[in-house]
Chain A
Amino acid sequence: DIQMTQSPASLSASLGETISIECLASEGISSYLAWYQQKPGKSPQLLIYGANSLQAGVPSRFSGSGSGTQYSLKISSMQPEDEGDYFCQQSYKFPYTFGAGTKLELK
């Protein structure tokens, strides 16, 4: 199975701060990577797919980049509503696998 190593495990950011979350795949995944946001008690929400495509309705302060085995999610200006857990997911090979998650909090 492809292992997805996500970092950091937790992050505290100030209002308006730019933050990045990284995901490292155990082998190349050819940009078959998505990012999800999950708020407490809610289902995950798709933010980014194909490594850098913004899902409809997601604010433009979210962006994704990367290739090969290294990918990142950037939030360009932290907002209170961005607090939550973030997960990466590869769909290059079955079984689809997820990163362990990053907990993002507002400082």
Chain B
Amino acid sequence: EVQLKESGPGLVQPSQTLSLTCTVSGFSLTDYSVHWVRQPPGKGLEWMGVMWSGGSTAYNSALKSRLSISRDTSKSQVFLKMNSLQTEDTAIYYCTRPGREPHWFAYWGQGTLVTVSS
């Protein structure tokens, strides 16, 4: 069974760095990409970036200067780091994976709420 699970701090202070982990099971990170998508409370979805199965990355240009995605294949984990957090970065952060078709998000983690506040 494909599973993804996000973990990380629920509260981050303004100007600090957010570090999140997506731990996956039921598939290999070398076979499928893992994407990060976030959703401010009560609002829409924003694609943040992707760790491709080959190990390269791509980022939303709106976040690129602050965002870094990496992985540890031996631990089946994908990491998100974003610096200079502001209150508008308060959101539910999801990791997600395509299904058989590479462009659509068939599997989602439960999401983790990150609040940026002092």
Contacts and interface: CB of A to CB of B under 8 A. Distances in A.
Contact of B109 (A43, A49, A98, A101): A43
Given A32-B103, A95-B60, A95-B61, A43 B108 contact: yes
A97 B37 CA distance: 10
Contacts of A87: 44-45
Nearest to A48: B104
A16 interface: no
Contacts of B108: 43-45
A94 B103 contact: no
Interface string B30-41: 000001000000
Interface string B85-118: 0000000001010010101111011110000000
A89 B105 CA distance: 10
Interface residues of B, number: 21
A46 B105 contact: yes
Interface in B69-96: 94, 96
B44 A100 contact: yes
A44 B105 contact: yes
B11 interface: no
Contact of A49 (B58, B62, B104): B104
Interface of A: 1, 32, 34, 36, 43-46, 49-50, 55, 87, 89, 91, 94-101
Interface of B: 35, 44-47, 58, 60-62, 94, 96, 99, 101, 103-106, 108-111
Q: Which 8 A-B pairs have the closest CB atoms?
A: A43-B108, A91-B103, A49-B104, A96-B47, A95-B60, A98-B45, A34-B104, A100-B44
